[in-house]
Amino acid sequence: MEIEKILGRHSPLQENLLNILHDVQDAHPRKYLPEPHIRKVAEYLDTNLAQLYGVVKYYTMFSTEPRARYIIRICRSPVCHIMDGKTLPELLEKVLGTGINEPTPDGLFYVEYSECLGICSIAPAMMVGDQIYGQLTEKGIEKLISLIRDEENQKG
């Protein structure tokens, strides 16, 4: 989606900054904020570019580096850790072939750590995009990744 269309959905008010940044980032197929887009947001809100970068760098959910279509967030907080969440990074690395903060070569997946996702009752847990998955096992992760890959292949 063109950035102008995204900006047009929001009034040019500072209070809309985080929502605008989220929408711009989500619309990018690699789920990040390229520099030209950050400049456009700064112009739209009549904000100092350095200040805007300060906001983008402050929040870990924003990225200025290309990531992937699906951001996988794995919880590294105590409950998930106790419930075997410590094995999630290795399981995902085994299934995807890439480590934390590394996009897969096909640009589909990018795994990052998160603090508690607020779904401790189904630990160990992770999010893929905005979908929640819990009580994860190696087989479950393999199946999920394979399903997403198949869906993406069918889209062409």
Residues that bind ligand FES in the complex, under the rule CB under 6 A = 75, 77, 79-80, 116-117, 119-120, 123, 125
Shorter beta-carbon distance to ligand FES: residue 42 or 83: 83
Phi-psi region of 39 (alpha: psi -120 to 50; beta: other; left: phi over 0): alpha
3-state SS record for 117-151: CCCHHHCCCEEECCEEECCCCHHHHHHHHHHHHHH
| Closest separation in Å from C-beta 119 to ligand FES | 5
Q: Which is nearer to ligand FES, 53 or 113 (CB)?
A: 113
Closest CB to ligand FES among 112 and 152? Answer: 112
Task: Report in angstroms how near the CB of residue 121 gets to ligand FES at its nearest.
Answer: 8
3-state secondary structure of 153: helix
